Structure 1
Amino acid sequence: MLDTFDAPTVRTWCRLALTALGQAREEIDALNVYPVPDGDTGTNLYLTVESAAVALERCFTEDPGTDLAAAMTAMARGALIGARGNSGVILAQLLRGMAEVLAQGGEPATFRKALLRAAESAYQAVAEPVEGTLLTVAAEAAKAAAQGTGGLAEAADTAYRAALRALQHTPEQLDVLAEAGVVDAGGRGLVAILGALADAVSGQSPMGPVALRQELGLPDLGAFQSCEGHERPPGPGHPAFEVIYLLDAPDDALPKLRGKLALLGDSLVVGGGDGLWNVHVHVDDAGAAVEAGVEAGRPYQIRITHFAEAAARAGEPAQEAREGRAVLSVVSGTGLAELCEQAGAAVLLADPDRPPASAELAEAVRRCAAHEVILLLNDPELRAAAGAAADQLREEGVRIAVLPTRSPIQGLAALAVHEGSRRFDEDVVAMTSAAGATRYAELAVAEGESWTMAGVCQAGDVLGLIDGDVAVIGADLAETGAVVLSRMLAAGGELVTLVLGEGVPARLAEQLVAHARKQRPEVDTVVFQGGQEAAPLLIGVE
């Protein structure tokens, strides 16, 4: 159990928060009716935390000895730079408030003060705070934690539980939520983030906010349903544009800027400090909002969204500039990349130590210049990022299907049946069916002692994972691979595919081919050099 909040825990929290938001993203989007019913709060929060995670990982890469203050500052700054929407800017300000106090240390008492400062800072960033929103959930969480005197885990758990209770009461505080029959979307996102914080601090196997919610015996948030028309664009009485930009400006220029923007529109949030700000406002005159930023300093990364046009674009056919259909496969080995290219796919070569973010996935799809794209993830960890990227691309007119292939083996099986002359939906169904009919396994080397479904493993042990779960623990690649292959063939199969990782000798494949022929002479076996670093061997059985 942690005694003090430290940099590695910040890193764990950020990763868990991104995972939690990825899992809850669509649910949060569906809850989004305030301040604008545009169904993007979950996506905005996910992209904001994703930006924070990228900045934090860069910080640790540059300095593995990063301390708490530097880690929190990097996380907060990354969130500020990548903040999306009203909720994203508020979240960035919450993190900044925490960072200000945690610069003094990570003791439980300081941690509680950091939560209080976070809530206070968020309220200060919003021109007209409204109760029954993310702000209320943050404030109630901080107040509850501040009343405790226990350790770090108690403080984080208390904050999470209080946030969840506050979320349940948001429809009582905001009429638009009560009318729609939903809880606040931003508050729901903060609950996921605080649940991740409680998991990170406790050091327990992260079960996520859903498990904790059931533990509390509180109503399932799934019982709340969004109103049927919540994705309609704002009505005549609401500003037409959302304007967001980063701003380099001195602190003393902000009061005047806030005053001008408050006169122009609503939903005004200005977060940041020390010369860097993220400005968010809803206005009818987008040009005037940007001009106000120019008078205050240097605005950049300007994003202007016309609510009605954005809603209309979601249903429009693909842009004429894009033609044909493409398949994009995400892989991490040069050999795998060549195999996919030979099968007719475009490739995004991923860094094995840093999975591609949603922006990278979206840009890779754009480079395909196709109006129909089938995206093969080949990694279950990419589903959330791909979902966020796909939502953005659909707004741009791209017809995209994300096939959640869990292994490059399944991706290769899907590519084998791809046929561009078929109708898009038929092609997606055929490729999905081929991937689903392919059982997959991989060998990995344990980095340390850990509990698995097959028992306790030690550093250096060879792990045999079947369909993502550890099924075999061995001491030798060939012996472990043979056991895994036998288990997979016990359920039948016609074709075995072996993909060797970087530096793995061809002798391993020869031994496994001989083993497969001995056990099942009728089964065909093919061997490829994949070049992947993470797994010495990938195995597929079709």
Structure 2
Amino acid sequence: MPQLPDDLDAVAVRTWCSLALEALGRERAEIDAINVYPIADGDTGTNLYLTVESAAAAVEAVFAAHETGATATAPATADAVRAMAHGALIGARGNSGTILAQLLRGMAGVLADGGDAAHLRLALTRAAAAARQAVAHPVEGTVLTVATAAAEAARGDERELRAVVSAAYEGARAALAKTPEQLAVLGRAGVVDAGGRGLVAVLGALVEAVTGQAPVRGPRTGSGKAATPVDGGSVVGLPVGGVPVDGLAAVEGPLDCPEELDGGGPAFEVIYLLEARDEQVDRLRTRLDALGDSLVVVGGDGLWHVHVHVDDAGAAVEAGVEAGRPYRIRITHFATESGHDVRVQAEPAQRAVVVVVPGDGLAGLCTEAGATTVIARPGEPPASGELVDAIRRAHAREVVLLPNDAALRHTAAAAAEQARTEGVRVALVPTRAAVQGIAALAVHEPDRGFDEDVVAMTAAAGATRYAELAVAERQSWTMAGICQAGDILGLIDGDVAVIGADVPATARTVLDRMLAAGGELVTLVLGEDVPDAMADALEEHVREGYLAVDTVVYRGGHQRAPLLIGVE
């Protein structure tokens, strides 16, 4: 039996994220089914799941960085909780997911200094306050109410961590049971708040991570009667629409909400990440609040997640451009049909390509070629939910998915499997680098047979050797010898092959090694800080040394590597 934590350390945070993801995975469909506020679009459970998935992936990345090498150690608690909060921020989906991201960020700000009972009490209080501040017009009977109740219940005199988390969980459950009394739309539908129910699932996972035991769940109650207390304790069920407090529901599909639940609200949901200063965000809040509703702006330290429902999606994005640099922009169009909010979509195309790219420059290039792009920014790999969203945006019967990163293999496979369950035929071409994706996209022919097209794209990617330049962050053992912090590393097909002192010389050496085995075309993708003169010099180097080899150059924009190289 694993040792239970005395405080919330990095391992406990990792376990919490994993268990929360499992809990939301189990309950996602049921939470979706009771989603009637603020928009009855049936996706709260999915949005919360994708938000926590991004948080869990960020924590796993921190552990992976510490588990490499001969001296594997667990990361510091501060690193784990900050990664959790950052991952949730960049992956937040929908209204409830955005609020959850702020709750985790509020907790992380305190737990980075310690994870004992006292710190957790303060963390829950700060989290609830931060979430309320992030919402333009807080409404009682929502996830905000549940978060506040959890914080208040945890303010007792308990000295043990497990007692604090259990108190917070019980407080959240009790508050969730009362949400239909506080918010009329919930009472008319006979359900609890979907976002609040998701938060109860997340807090239940925290209880299990700390105590080693999952909270006791009551039986399903489909008749509208209260469930029986368990072991003499508090009531686990909820006498509202057959939906128990702990997250189990008798509802099996989307609710048939009466027409009065549909408020005829704004037509678009607009979400984006924003790089901006605090004072710019204050002005942005004011402007977006005038444009629409369901406004939630979370984040800090220069990075923000913006969520709003508006009629003028262009104006909402324009406001972000004026405030800073918006990216990962997602716009969903809602329309009313028979009293339900549904997404409006045109007739699907026959075939599309979804490609992951490391920077804005390649995103533009691939978009011009007709592909749907997902940008993988430095330290922010896309989660499977983001890839599924891109497949949906492509709106095609057949999709070719190019992950362009070996580390995304499992993530892309999960996204492809999810899309297949939705009726989309998906082929995953296991590209390991952006230059392989460019090669595959270059031979894509939507008019030929699907299998034939996939084979051609796979062959083009496989015939492309790839390399990248990177800057060593610390002294390390590599296949090319010992590198020092600041050295330029030339990686060929994923392995360090060259250690150099500067980018141009290292790039020439890498090119010579790759072209020694032959080649007809060299592709260079330059990072935003690499001058055009270096590209000219490398083109000349190839032209003088390899007469039959052509060179093409692309601007990759803000990407992790200063230079990507492909040789076909």
Give the TM-score normalised by the residue count of structure 2. Answer: 0.57
Count the aligned residue pairs. 358
Match of 1:258 in 2: 285
d(CA) in 2 for partners of 1:388 and 1:30? 22
Say if 1:61 and 1:253 are closer, same or farther in 2 by CA, change over 3 A. Answer: same
Structure 1 residues 169 and 225, CA gap change in structure 2 (3 angstroms): farther
Letter in 2 for 1:251: D
State the match for 1:222 in structure 2: 249
- CA separation in 2, counterparts of 1:250 and 1:127? 19
Matches within 5 A, 1:165-184: 165-184=174-193
Quick check: 2:180–2:192 contact (8 Å CA) kept in 1? Answer: yes
Which range moves more in the overlay, 232-241 or 130-139? 232-241
State which of 29, 33, 42 in structure 2 corresponds to 1:30: 33
1:137-536 aligned at under 5 Å gives the runs 137-204=146-213, 206=214, 215=230, 216-219=234-237, 220=244, 221-223=248-250, 228-230=255-257, 235=262, 237-308=264-335, 318-321=348-351, 357-359=384-386, 370-371=397-398, 389-390=418-419, 394=422, 398=424
CA distance in 2, matches of 1:20, 1:208: 13
State the alpha-carbon separation in 1 of the partners of residues 347 and 30 from structure 2: 26
After TM superposition, list the pairs within 5 Å mapping 1:94-105 onto structure 2.
94-105=103-114
**Would the alpha carbon gap of residues 151 and 50 (structure 1) be closer, same or farther in structure 2, given more than 3 Å must change?**
same
* Aligned residues of 2:334 and 2:344 also touching (Cα < 8 A): no
Q: CA deviation at 1:102?
A: 1.0
Question: Once the 2 structures are TM-superposed, how far is the Cα of residue 390 of structure 1 from its aligned partner?
Answer: 4.1
Residues 405-439 of structure 1: per-residue CA shift (max 9 Å, x gap): xxxxxxxxxxxxxxxxxxxxxxxxxxxxxxxxxxx
- The worse-fitting range, judged by mean Cα deviation, of 124-133 and 359-368 is 359-368
- CA distance in 2 between counterparts of 1:367 and 1:241 reads 18
Matched, 1:39 2:65: no
Two-structure CA RMSD over aligned residues (Å): 3.7
- Structure 1 pair 229/81, CA: closer, same or farther in 2 (3 Å)? same
Q: Check 1:32–1:366 CA distance in 2 against 1; reply closer, same or farther (3 A cut).
A: closer
Q: 1:128 to 1:364 in 2, by over 3 A?
A: closer
> Aligned letter for 1:6?
D
Correspondence for 2:120: 111
Contact 1:357 1:385 in 2 (8 A): yes
SS of match in other structure, 1:278: strand
Query: Quick one: which amino acid aligns to residue 273 of structure 2?
Result: L
Query: CA 1:362/1:246 → structure 2, altered by over 3 Å: closer, same or farther?
Result: closer
**C-alpha separation between the residues in 2 aligned to 1:151 and 1:360?**
41
**AA at the equivalent of 2:117:** P
Match of 1:270, SS state, is strand
Q: Which runs of 5+ in 1 are unaligned?
A: 324-353, 374-380, 401-542
C-alpha change, 1:366 and 1:389, in structure 2 (3 Å) is farther
Q: State the 1:237 CA deviation.
A: 3.5
Contact 2:48–2:93 at 8 Å: present in 1 too?
Answer: yes
Distance 1:61 1:179, change over 3 A: same
Query: Cα–Cα, structure 1 residues 208 and 21, in superposed 2: closer, same or farther, change >3 Å?
Result: farther
Contact 1:318–1:399 (8 Å) recurs in 2: no
Shift in Å at residue 388 of structure 1? 9.9
Q: Secondary structure at the match of 1:33?
A: coil
SS at match of 2:306: strand
- Looking at structure 2, the residues matched to 389 and 230 of structure 1 have their Cα atoms a distance apart, in angstroms, of 27
State yes or no: 1:59 paired with 2:62.
yes
Distance 2:45 2:157 in 1: 31
Task: Please say if residues 103 and 128 of structure 2, whose CA atoms lie closer than 8 Å, have aligned partners that are also in contact.
Answer: yes
What one-letter code is carried by the residue in structure 2 that aligns with 1:319? A
Q: Is the 8 A contact 1:234 1:307 kept in 2?
A: no
- Identity percentage of aligned residues: 57
- After TM superposition, give the deviation of residue 203 of structure 1 in Å: 2.4
Q: Which amino acid aligns with 1:320?
A: Q
Q: Secondary structure at the match of 1:222?
A: coil
Q: Distance in 2 between matches of 1:254 and 1:33?
A: 29
CA distance in 1, matches of 2:277, 2:200: 33
Q: Which amino acid letter does the alignment assign opposite residue 291 of structure 2?
A: L
Check the 8 A contact 1:160/1:194 in 2, yes or no: yes
Contact 1:249 1:276 (8 Å CA) reproduced: yes
CA contact (8 A) 2:272 2:305 kept: yes
The CA distance in 2 between the partners of 1:318 and 1:26, in whole Å, is 25
Q: Which runs of 5+ in 2 are unaligned?
A: 67-72, 221-226, 238-243, 354-380, 401-409, 427-568
Residues 175 and 385 of structure 1, relative CA distance in 2, 3 Å threshold:
farther
- The structure whose residues are more often helix, as a share, is 1
Alpha carbons 1:240, 1:283 under 8 Å: kept: yes
TM-score, normalization by structure 1: 0.59
Residue identity in the other structure for 1:18: L
Query: 2:5 — aligned with what?
Result: 2
1:12 aligns with 2:12: no
Amino acid at match of 1:37: A
Give the whole-Å Cα distance in 2 for the aligned partners of 1:140 and 1:207.
18
1:265/1:388 Cα in 2 relative to 1: closer, same or farther (>3 Å)? farther
